[in-house]
Structure 1
C-alpha cells in the first residue's frame, strides 16, 4: 500500500513538472513572437538573414545567458541589445526554453567537403569537443554549434579572435586567437555540415 502511494505521488509530481515545462514553452512561444522576424517562426532563422543564428535546438541555459548578457551589456549587437533590454528574468527563461524545445532543421548552406575536412582536423587539434561535446551539441552554457549557420559561425569566431566579443570567460577568445582566417572558414564549413 505504501509503495502504491509513493508511486502515485511520484507520478503526480512528474505530471506537475511536465505541465510547468509545457507552460514555460507556451509562454516562451508568445514572448518570442517578435524574435521571429530575424530568427524565423521555427527558430531556424531566415534565408534573408544568414548571419543571424538558428536558435532551435540550442541549450536553454546558453540562450538564457546570451539574452542576459545582451540586456546587461556584456555582449552587444545593434538589434539584440535593444530587444533584450525590456525582458525580465522569467521572459528570458521562457524564451530560452521555447527555442530549446524546437528541432534544428538542416540549413541550406553549400558545404565545401574539402574545407569541412580541414575544419574537422582543426577542431580535433584544438580539442573543441572538450567544451562543445561530441557531435558539437553543447552543454549548459556552452552552445550547440552543430548545424549552425556558416555566416554566424565565421562572424562569431572572428569576433572572439578580434576580442570584440568577450562574454565567454576568455575560453573562446583564447582558442580563436590561434586560428587563421582560413581555419575559421574551414571550421564554419565543418560545423555547418553537422546534423
Structure 2
C-alpha cells in the first residue's frame, strides 16, 4: 500500500514537471528560464532556498514587498511553491562582475563587524527564509541594501533595516563588491 501511494505520488510529480518550466517561462524575461538573469539589476534566484523564493513571491502578492512587475503577477499558492522548488534546484551562475580587491577587503570587514553571517551563515549561503547573497548580482545587492536603509523594503523582521541603517553609501558599495565576489 505504501509503495502504491509512493508510486502514485511519483507519477503525479513526473506529470507535473513539464508544467513547471512552462510556468517559469513567465519569469524568464527578467530572471532567465533557469533563474540566471541577463540584466544585473534582477536577482539571481537559481539556487536560492525554496522557502525564501516562496516567501518573496507571497510577499509580492500580498503587498508586503513591492515591484512594478512582481506585485502584479497572478499566481496560486501551488504555482508559487512549484516555481520556488524549480528555481531552488537550478545552479547559480559564476559571476562575471570583477570586484575591486580593496573594496572586497573593506566589505569583508564590514560584514564581520555587522555580523552578517549570524543570519546569512558562513559563506553567505543563506538558510530557509534568509537569502543566499554570495555571488548575487552587484546592482541587485546595492539596490536591496539601499532600499532597506531607506525603508523602501520592509518585508523582513526588521533585522536588515536595522543593519542597513548603520551602513554608509560606501559601506554598501564595499559590501556589494565583497558579496558579489564570493
TM, length-normalised to structure 1? 0.86
Within-5 A mapping of 1:18-167: 26-46=18-38, 49-83=39-73, 86-167=74-155
Contact conserved, 2:31 with 2:43, CA < 8 A, in 1? yes
CA–CA separation in structure 1 for the residues paired with 2:6 and 2:173: 45
CA shift for structure 1 position 27: 3.7
| Contact 1:51/1:149, CA 8 A, preserved across alignment | yes
**TM score, norm. by length of structure 2:** 0.92
Q: CA deviation at 1:79?
A: 1.1
**Which of 65-74 and 34-43 deviates more?**
34-43
1:83-116 deviation per Cα after TM superposition (whole angstroms, max 9, x unaligned): 2xx1000000000011000000112112111101
Q: Which runs of 5+ in 1 are unaligned?
A: 1-8
CA–CA distance in 2 between the matches of 1:119 and 1:28? 38
| The structure with more helix, counted as a fraction of residues | 1
**Bigger-Rg structure (1/2):** 1
- Name the CA distance, whole Å, in 1 between partners of 2:118 and 2:12: 33
Runs of 4+, deviation exceeding 3 Å: 9-27
Q: What's the offset of the Cα at 1:41? A: 2.1
Contact in 2 for aligned 1:25/1:101 (Cα 8 Å): no
CA distance in 1, matches of 2:15, 2:178: 36
* Distance in 2 (alpha carbons) for counterparts of 1:98 and 1:75: 22
